[in-house]
């Protein structure tokens, strides 16, 4: 069933205190397993869009030069800043601002950008606007890393049909081809992608089914992309 589009005000209202608490409980676990797919350099200046509570900074701050996290949620930025101070992370900065507006002020600044569990929260036209801005903020040969649910995954299909419960913040879960198309519209013409398992331990055990002919595509839980 196709849902009516939410207004920007309605979308912002979804990111309340309860959401921030739930986010903190799962984000570190989800992001930690992604490190094996990411190449980092000690001098990298990186941008984390839709940074949430800033958990990704906790994982990579010792492997890079500088981290900047941007999010429109003031609650998330407050949480991220407090956590970084508590952990004595000196090379992380958190900014509450529209991502595209922030990127416009920082052209050709970043070696790498990250959109981890972000794109499913943003409608198509807005995502193209944001990713296009991210492209301009990357240095020459800079990379954008994306991690997102796969719209062809069986559980996501069940959610779309209201058989399983969807996160209300997930307003735009897409498949790989849909993502590649939006990335091209945003200026990212070179995209490498792979399917990886779900972060949930029980669902991860079903990932082997993704290699079974005919039905395998329904068990590809997550999409990981490297874009240029």
> 61-64 long-range CB contacts below 8 Å, 24 or more apart?
61/89, 61/91, 61/92, 64/40, 64/91
The pLDDT of residue 3 = 61
Q: Are strands 110-116 and 138-149 parallel, antiparallel or unpaired?
A: parallel
The CATH number for 153's domain is 3.40.50.150
Q: What is the pLDDT of residues 66-106, one digit of tens each?
A: 999 999 999 999 999 999 999 999 999 999 999 999 999 99
**Is residue 54 included in any domain, yes or no?**
yes
Domain count, the chain: 1
Contact (CB, 8 A) for 75 and 16: yes
What pLDDT, in 10s, does the model give residues 146-197?
Answer: 999 999 999 999 999 999 988 888 899 999 999 999 999 999 999 999 999 9
Q: Is residue 152 part of a domain?
A: yes
Residue 35 lies in a domain: no
- Residue 80 located in a structural domain: yes
131 inside domain: yes
Match 């794109």 to its residue by tokens: 119
Range of the domain at 122: 8-30+40-227
Main-chain phi, psi angles of 126, to 5 degrees: -70, -40
pTM of this structure: 0.93
Q: What is Dmax (Cα atoms) for the chain?
A: 50
Establish how many alpha carbons lie within 13 A of residue 220's alpha carbon, considering only the half-sphere containing its beta carbon: 20
Residue 219 lies inside a defined structural domain of this protein:
yes
Q: Which residue has the tokens 């036209």?
A: 125
């Amino acid at each position: 069933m196709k849902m009516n589009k939410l207004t920007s005000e309605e979308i912002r209202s979804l990111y309340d205190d309860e959401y921030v608490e739930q986010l903190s409980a799962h984000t570190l676990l989800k992001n930690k397993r992604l490190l094996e797919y990411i190449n980092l350099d000690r001098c990298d200046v990186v941008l984390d869009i839709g940074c949430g509570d800033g958990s990704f900074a906790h994982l990579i701050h010792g492997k890079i030069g500088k981290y900047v996290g941007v999010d429109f949620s003031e609650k998330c930025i407050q949480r991220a800043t407090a956590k970084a101070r508590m952990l004595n992370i000196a090379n992380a900065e958190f900014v509450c601002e529209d991502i595209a507006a922030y990127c416009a002020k920082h052209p050709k600044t970043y070696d790498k950008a990250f959109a981890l569990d972000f794109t499913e929260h943003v409608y198509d036209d807005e995502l193209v606007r944001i990713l296009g801005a991210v492209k301009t903020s990357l240095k020459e040969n800079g990379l954008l890393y994306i991690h997102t649910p796969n719209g062809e995954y069986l559980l996501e299909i069940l959610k779309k049909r209201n058989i399983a419960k969807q996160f209300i913040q997930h307003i735009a879960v897409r498949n790989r081809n849909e993502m590649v198309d939006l990335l091209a519209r945003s200026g990212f013409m070179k995209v490498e992608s792979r399917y990886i398992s779900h972060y949930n331990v029980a669902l991860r055990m079903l990932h082997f089914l993704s290699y079974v002919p005919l039905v395998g595509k329904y068990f590809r839980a997550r999409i990981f992309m490297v874009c240029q």
